[in-house]
Structure 1
Amino acid sequence: MIGGTGLDLTNLGAIAAAFVVVASSPGPANLATASVALTRGLPTALTFAAGLSLGLAFWGVLAAFGLGAVLQGSLMALMVLKLAGGAYLLWLAWQTGRAALRPGPMQTPDIPPGRWFLRGILLNLSNPKAVFAWMAALSVGMGAEQGIGAVAVATVMCAMIGTLNAMTWAVLFSRPRMMAGYRRVRRWVDGVVAGLFAAAGFGLIRSALAR
């Protein structure tokens, strides 16, 4: 057992494995991190990733305190969050699509680091699916015998995994060779990323309106 929480290494391993799968899948947050890394380089990508991590941790706290279940049961609140999240993803698709259609060399307007941090926070806060992913991961290794201490330990561990994942995407896609390769096929990559953002945004809006 770990610190009297009722968790052992098997429990933690199961939760960690489940969260690694959730966090590392190529969803909107990871795609956005890769896009920022390719276009802006490592410092900006790490700032963006830090914002993503904070937004993800916020959902983790909600899940840990059981507010995720309340949110899941509130159809109106969930619909509003999904609509807002879908709209934000469509805005990202529009911005990326405009860049894909722009001929010539890549243009990177000067944006303050704090705004990239805020964009990272907003991207994860606008994704209500994150709280359900947290709940699913936490439930893998949790039982009725575990209390708030166990939930706190698991939540901190998953938040660290989420941060490490975001930073890893930032580092990998800001490598000089990756950035040079991106510049050669910039318009194609931006077009694909814009399509993926649009698909995720429309999917979120469709799921909100289907209820």
Structure 2
Amino acid sequence: MTDVLSLVSIGFAFFVVAVSPGPANISNATIAMSKGRKVSLVYGAGLSIGLLFWGIVAASGLGVVLQGSVYLLMLLKIVGGVYLLWLAYLSFKSSFNAAATVSTTDNQEVGYRKWFVRGVVLNSSNPKTVVAWMAALSVGMGSSSDGLFLVAAVLTCMLVGFLVNGMYSLLFSINGVMNVYQKVAHWVERVVAGIFTLAGLGLLRSAFSRNPA
């Protein structure tokens, strides 16, 4: 019973972290509004796999090593920051396409694999995610926790991650929401570009900080 309550605590802590607005969730919401539910669900699955990558890193103890390795963490943050800035550029560029429309045919032509890979890359390129994982896992972990419990905790957080990304995909792909998006698409894309820019610059700044977090 204690283990179940601990898993619930870990799952809830991870839900709070995962559901909060950030580059991944905002990009998923934007894709749901502009490309539709199927593409967003595929993209969200990619985000979840990218999130799981850092969960495995944190659970295996590499998270502590990563936090202690200044140069490795710096390199990862630089890569993540540059990628976020690239996404900012793509969002800003697409904001000038005032004729953006949702089309099932267009979605099929894009290719689901590309959207899945984009999701994986976005979440796996942010090393700060490992800190969120370690914080969530520490909520329910104790000195008596064994390897089996750790695996169960990671699987619980993984399930929460998929549910959160699926929730964003379903919520923002509702017809009414998509119709509103079509009217303000250029502004949404520019706001998203701004968020990506701030997140990317934040990672780069953190990479070159004397006390990288």
- Aligned ranges 1:139-154 → 2 under 5 Å: 139-154=138-153
In structure 2, what is the equivalent of residue 189 of structure 1?
188
Look up the match of 1:83. Answer: 78
- Of 34, 41, 45, the residue aligned with 2:29 is 34
Q: Which runs of 5 or more structure 2 residues have no equivalent in the other structure? A: none
Query: 2: distance between equivalents of 1:10 and 1:115?
Result: 39
Q: Distance in 1 between matches of 2:53 and 2:193?
A: 26
Distance 2:26 2:195 in 1: 9
Query: TM-score by structure 2 length?
Result: 0.92
Tell whether 2:98 aligns with 1:104.
yes
What displacement does 1:10 show? 2.5
Give 1:120-139 correspondences, 5 Å limit. Answer: 120-139=119-138
1:86 counterpart letter in structure 2 = G
Q: Residue 80 of structure 2 contacts residue 125 of structure 2 at CA under 8 Å; is this kept in 1?
A: yes
CA distance in 2, matches of 1:11, 1:106: 46
Is contact 2:98-2:186 (8 Å) kept?
no
- Aligned AA (1:105): A
Shift of 1:98: 1.1
Q: How high is the TM-score relative to the length of structure 1?
A: 0.93
1:102-121 deviations in Å (ceiling 9; x for gaps): 15311687421101010000
Q: Distance in 2 between matches of 1:119 and 1:209?
A: 26
Percent identity reads: 47
1:82-133 CA-partner distances (Å, limit 9, x unpaired):
0110111101110101122x15311687421101010000001101011111
C-alpha distance in structure 1 between counterparts of 2:23 and 2:188, whole Å:
15
Q: 1:126 and 1:103 mapped to 2: Cα distance?
A: 28
SS at match of 2:99: coil
- The CA distance in 1 between the partners of 2:48 and 2:28, in whole Å, is 11
**Residue 55 (1) aligns with residue 54 (2):** no
1:116 alignment counterpart: 115
Given that 2:14 and 2:136 are in contact with CA atoms closer than 8 Å, whether structure 1 keeps it comes out as yes
Q: Deviations over 1:67-88 (max 9, x none)?
A: 1111111111100110110111
> Of 10, 18, 25, which aligns to 1:15?
10
Aligned residues of 2:98 and 2:185 also touching (Cα < 8 A)? no
Runs of 4+ in structure 1 displaced over 4 angstroms?
A: 107-110
User: 1:181: how far off?
Assistant: 0.2
Query: What residue identity is the alignment partner of 2:140?
Result: G
Q: How many residues align?
A: 205
Contact 2:76/2:125 (<8 A) preserved: yes
